[in-house]
Structure 1
């Protein structure tokens, strides 16, 4: 092998090594972080111990926040009975100032030790651990949409989630929803969809007390949010629903049939249900816009639309 061939070979080898290292240098090794968290204890007596392990194993703010989120969603179960353990309500600001910090510390301690919480426990633990790591963050209170009855109702401050700043950029987190779902009992289904969720997807189900905490470039009023339909498909945004724009449908004003238009690149089988077995409807995909019409029946209250037999959109019938 000549010297020139050797130099060319080494140059190519160096390039290959750089390309292989690219995801670790410029991206995040989430698999390593999540695997490390799996080795942590399932509960802690002292939050200092958990914080110390995070400081030992992770270095950047991104790694630490990922580790915090991962531990919480994998080890804390949602239990509505926790609302009975502490009084989260305050009559006035004076009472709140006297009780809030004590309740917060008790909530965090119980979440760590017992592994059960409601949204306050999840969010407060996330906030406390970020604070201990020197990561700028804060709690967000606001409303959520999960059921037909949430469409069109007045704003309620019934949920809590988090905003944390990583490398100068604010991101949205909801460790409560990231841990699983509650349907009569807690169903553990850890997900990272609610880790740094894009604002245009987060707004489908979460509306903060302060509009700027949507992290959207333009403000959306509470009234507009309330009247949107439920968009169930995770990857679908509200912008993808071109018609109808309201989540409350009046069949009488549309002569008993309502036209729908949904931006979706894939061809899907569309069906609908008023609470009984789904019925398939003819749908046409025109350059990524799925168009279909649904005939309405008297006395119906809710409409659920399916894509490929999976719930996609929900509307309330006036």
Structure 2
């Protein structure tokens, strides 16, 4: 399952309200590899008591010590002649992926997610793997659903939360760029759905689920605190030239950047006429005929991306 670096995304580490300084400090003294997950689990059992601290320790060790490496795809190809043999090999494959991830510190998304799952299991923490799709580049806007990524749902004190230690570890752009973040630790479902759509919609943990087609139609929502419901206009990521005269109207809730600019793939152009309301902003972007992409910036940072037909 391919891990694609988020286009232009700049995410600062954001932790839950709980103070995790003690957990993070202890984790800096752990080895950067282990012979097996059981040995790492024993460290965690020794040092932490609450489920919250244990899950934080699991996530932190993984994002600090595992690098994304697409060559890992080649390590575990296998063939089978019947479903029984497939199931046996699947279980063996899972164990081998976990073992290789914790020993070598290299993995693709399966390694990250399966190691997270195994460590939670060893701590008696209810969790499961989630397969699904991602939205990280302009080419993802409007395409059919694909099962190309894996992440986790884990319960802390009886409540389920979303985790993606693959994306939490850093970015991949021809090489792995280590950039640990806690944005993908207990990510609010309304923000996680911007970039992740599960094979089973209930695993999105949303009160009101959206369909695969609705997810595909979303623009790239890069501003970390924006949810899909905040984007009133244009709410879909694919813009058609013949639907506009000479300008594209934007209406966005719950943000109020000091500066807004746009780019059709070249220079950034500032927008001076911004209507600011109590809970939303409105502005227009001149339509450029023949352009293929449109990027909106808030205070100089990419915030929204659209494809144009």
Match of 2:42 among 52, 62, 65: 52
Structure 1: 5+ residue stretches without partners: 1-26
Contact 2:257 2:299 in 1 (8 A): no
CA RMSD of aligned residues (A): 1.6
Q: CA deviation at 1:31?
A: 0.8
Alignment of 1:8-157 (within 5 A): 28-87=18-77, 93-94=83-84, 96-157=86-147
Tell me whether 1:208 sits opposite 2:188 in the alignment.
Answer: no
Match of 2:283 among 260, 268, 292: 292
* TM-score scaled by length of structure 2: 0.91
Q: Could you list the runs of 4 or more consecutive aligned residues of structure 1 that deviate by over 6 angstroms after TM superposition?
A: 88-92
1:281-318, Cα deviation, whole Å (9 max, x unpaired): 22221223111111122221111110111000001112
Q: CA deviation at 1:30?
A: 0.7
What residue in structure 1 maps to residue 179 of structure 2? 189
The 1:88/1:196 distance shift into structure 2, 3 A limit, reads: farther
Q: CA deviation at 1:267?
A: 3.5
Larger radius of gyration: 1
Contact 2:168 2:180 in 1 (8 A): yes
Q: Which moved more, 1:265-274 or 1:161-170?
A: 265-274
Match of 2:155 among 165, 169, 175: 165
Whole-angstrom distance in 2 between the partners of 1:91 and 1:175:
34
Whole-angstrom distance in 2 between the partners of 1:267 and 1:79:
37
1:242-296, Cα deviation, whole Å (9 max, x unpaired): 1111111112111132100111343421111111011112222122311111112
Contact 1:302 1:315 in 2 (8 A): yes
Aligned residues between the structures: 292
* TM-score scaled by length of structure 1: 0.88
